[in-house]
Structure formats: C-alpha cells, structure tokens
Amino acid sequence: MSDLWSARFKKDTDILLKKFNSSIAVDGLMYSEDITGSIAHAEMLCKKGIISGSDCAAITDGLKGILADIDSGALTIDPDAEDIHMFVEGELTRRIGEPGKRLHTARSRNDQVAADIRLYLRKKASETAVSLKNMIKALYETAVKHTDTVMPGYTHLQRAQPVTMAHHLMAYASMFMRDCGRLSDAVGRMNLSPLGSAALAGTTYDIDRGQTAAALGFDGVVANSLDGVSDRDFAAELAFCASLIMTHLSRLSEEIILWCSWEFRFVELDDSFATGSSIMPQKKNPDVAELVRGKSGRVFGDLVSLLTMLKGLPLAYNKDMQEDKEAVFDALKTATDSLNIFAPMLLSMKVNAENCAQAAKRGFINATDMADYLAKKGMPFRSAYKLTGELVAWAQEKGMTLEEIPLTELKARSDLFASDVYDALDLKTCLEKRVSEGGPSGKAMQKQLEAVREFLDA
C-alpha cells in the first residue's frame, strides 16, 4: 500500500519517513469503527447505483471477515502500515481483488478518519460516563453513612465552620454530576457525520450523506465539507471534559492525602488500596490519590496539545491533525482509569468519625454561631462579630474553647448572653441550625442526597 502513489513518484519513500508518518500504533484502535464506516459507505454507494450489488456484497462480506479476524486474533494489524484506513483497504483488496478497489469511490481518508474518530470517541465517552456514575455512586454510598459525622469545614485550610463528611463528599458528587452533563453535551455536538465531505470539497457523485449518517447512528450531517474534514473541536472539548474530571479528582486526591496523614487521621485507606515503603516499615501511602493528582497534569497537557495543534492550521486537512488521536484518546482513557480506581478506593476507605469530631472541637469553628446568637438577640452583626473576636482571643490565651468560658465572663461583656448560649455553641446545634438549602443540616442533606439518588436512578 505504501506503493499507492508510486505512479506519481520516481523514488521510494525513505524508511525514516515511513516510520515517522505511520499512525497505526494509535489509530489501529479504531479498526472496528473504520470497518463499520466502510460498510455503511459501500452500502450507500450501492443504493445510489454507484457500485454494483455484487461488488457491494463482496466488499461488505470481505470487511465483515476482516473485522471478525481482527477481533479473534486471526489477523494482526500490520504495525508497518501507514494507518488503519490503508491497512483495512489493502487487506480487503488482497482478499477480494477488483471490487475492493471500488470502496474508496467518493471518499477520502480525510472524511473517513473524521468519521472514525467521532465514532470511537462516542464509544469511549460513554465508558467515561459510566465510570463517572460509579464514582458518584461511591460518594453517595459513603455520604449516606456519614450524615452525622461532624468535621471542620475549612477555608484557607483553616478551620472555619462545622460541616459533616456527607456534606463534604456530596460537594464532589455535584462536581461529577456536572461533568456527566458536560460530557453528554460535547458528545451531542460531535455526533454529526462528516462522511461525504470527501477530501475537502465534497464529490461529483450523487451520494446520500443522510444514509451513511443514519446507518452509523449520527444525528445528522456536518453542514460544510471543509468544516467536516477540519473540525477537531470535539476532540478539544472532550479533552477539556477529561481535564475538568481530573481537576475534580485531583482536589479530592489532595484532601484524601491530607486526611490520611497523622496530622489529620480523618480516614484510613483499606490495605488493598494503599502501598508500603521499601525502607520505612511503618508506612502506608495513598499512592492512588497521588498518582491521580499527578496524572491530571498529563491530561491538561493533552488539552493544550490539541488547542496548539489546531490554532495555526489553514483549512482544510493538514497532517498535523494526525496528532489529535494520541492526545484525546489518552485524556479520556486516563480520566476513565482514574475514576475506575477511585470509586472502589472510596468505598473501602474507613472514615474515623472520632478524629473528625475531635478536630471539630478545636479551632473555634462555632465562633460565627456565637456572633449569630448575639445578633439574633438584637446586637448589630458587626458588633457581635467584634465582641466574639475579643472572646476568641481571650479564650485562646486561657487555652479554652468558647463553650468553656464561664457565663459570668460572657455577661461581663454583654447582658444579652444567657445560659442558652451553651446550647447555641454546641456543635450538634450549630449543624442542625444550618437549615439553609444546600447546607449541612440533616434536613438539607436529605434533599441533596435525594437529588443524587434521582440522578443515579435516571
């Protein structure tokens, strides 16, 4: 097949160029989409009377045979072929002779590859969506068990206000639910057929683009043939979806790494999802979370590669575009693999509710509640905020918490204080009073959990 253009050329392709030009190591993954696309194309050519019924039958039978043989391992994809399109067409002609040479009528590798990638990415994106749902399910199932597990909520990584482990985990469920929506939006925009764009300017044959589009499950056809062969927006969009999934996973990774440390000890990973050290016998390391945090960088690199690859390209096809597949395939695969290991790691992780509660007791996370207590009794919030600040400083000096300050000390500063202040400062009350929609109180959490349950059931 490398001799395809030998009539036009006087010299053989240099062996270095042959190797450099070959993309089969990556696009070989799309063999099934390439073959299915060719079958749809041949059937359309036949229906439009462009090739005969017998040629069409020979072509489609031949292609189905190739597909079955690659699937079974009876046929290995030639690693020296230029790409999967050349390999399949060459193998077809080797098997069925003359009819095989008619397959490429009214088609170019440019619209062929544009169709193949879309079909392949559609399949891969749906695998990512399944992994996202499993991740949301793992968060949900962990959260359900920890609606009463009080822990400090942080800002600036400083203890801020009380939340629960369920509240914290459900924040991540919200992120991953948005990721699901983003993925399906991107797939929806991508799902149009470029077939019939041919090399760039369509074709003189009376083809039926709608037929190939319908046969391959596309929602319609790309409106402009130049755009059909040059558009790789969908690859960048999917790499962005993968990047944001990795961003979310990486933030959660960072927290799990912190939570596993002796400084926090909020969680303990199951032995089956942790690793040891080659020298320090005591170590139990959160490698999964660290690897995911590390891999996020590679996925962002994939996105930047795609945007950079595209930004200087004149219309229509340019060989630069062959670089698209490695980047977007890697981005989706890395995101899917990361989600797939994260979900069981979460499900087997032990939350140490006692340590979470201990951490919540220190750090004055009920200070806002004291200010609110005074404000609800009539003091302007700013004055209440200032007075509470003074009490925090006083208590810190004495090594006390706010609830340990005697009532006489409180009353000396404001006669709005009464014995009910101790109930208002109790962490359980602080949580239960946070009834605003989206907050950590039991009632607000039930609503959030229900929404996630509905999403998972849909």
> Is the CB of 290 or the CB of 326 nearer to ligand ARG?
326
Give me the least distance between CB of 108 and ligand ARG, in Å please: 7
| Catalytic residue of the set 72, 156, 272, 278 | 156
- Residue 205, number of CB atoms within 10 A of its CB: 14
Whole-number Å distance between alpha carbons of 420 and 231: 66
Nearer to ligand ARG, 174 or 322 (CB): 322
Across the chain, which distance is largest between two alpha carbons, in Å? 102
Q: Is 124 in the site for ligand ARG (CB under 6 A)?
A: no
Given the complex with ligand ARG, which of 56 and 113 has the nearer CB atom? 113
Site for ligand ARG in 304-333 (CB under 6 A): 317, 319, 321-322
Q: Return the number of the residue (55 or 89) whose C-beta is nearest ligand ARG.
A: 89
Closest contact distance (angstroms) between CB of 83 and ligand ARG is: 4
32 lies in the binding site for ligand ARG (CB under 6 A): no
Of residues 80 through 119, those in contact with ligand ARG by CB under 6 A are: 83, 109-110, 113
State yes or no: residue 230 binds ligand ARG (CB under 6 A): no
How many Cβ atoms sit within 10 Å of the Cβ of residue 296? 24
212 lies in the site for ligand ARG, by CB under 6 A: no
C-alpha dihedral (449, 452, 453, 457), degrees to nearest 10 = 180
User: Binding to ligand ARG by residue 179, rule CB under 6 A?
Assistant: no
Distance of CA 190 to the CA centre of its chain: 17
For residue 312, the minimal CB distance to ligand ARG (Å) is: 16
Q: Is 167 a catalytic residue?
A: no
Contact flag: residue 249 with ligand ARG (CB under 6 A): no
**6 labelled catalytic:** no
Residues 10-29 that bind ligand ARG (CB under 6 A): 23, 27
* Residue list 147-166, contact with ligand ARG (CB under 6 A): none
Count interface residues toward ligand ARG (CB under 6 A). Answer: 10
| Residue 366 lies near ligand ARG (rule: CB under 6 A) | no
Residue among 87 and 364 whose Cβ is closer to ligand ARG: 87
Please tell me the distance from the alpha carbon of residue 155 to that of residue 136, in angstroms, as a whole number: 24
Contact at 8 Å (CB) between 219 and 184? no
Nearer to ligand ARG, 266 or 317 (CB): 317
Catalytic residue of the set 54, 184, 277, 383: 277
Residue 326 beta carbon to ligand ARG: minimum distance, rounded to whole angstroms: 10
- Does 193 contact ligand ARG by CB under 6 A? no
Shortest distance, position 100 Cβ to ligand ARG, whole Å? 19
User: Rule CB under 6 A: which residues touch ligand ARG?
Assistant: 23, 27, 83, 109-110, 113, 317, 319, 321-322
Hey, which residues are catalytic here?
156, 277
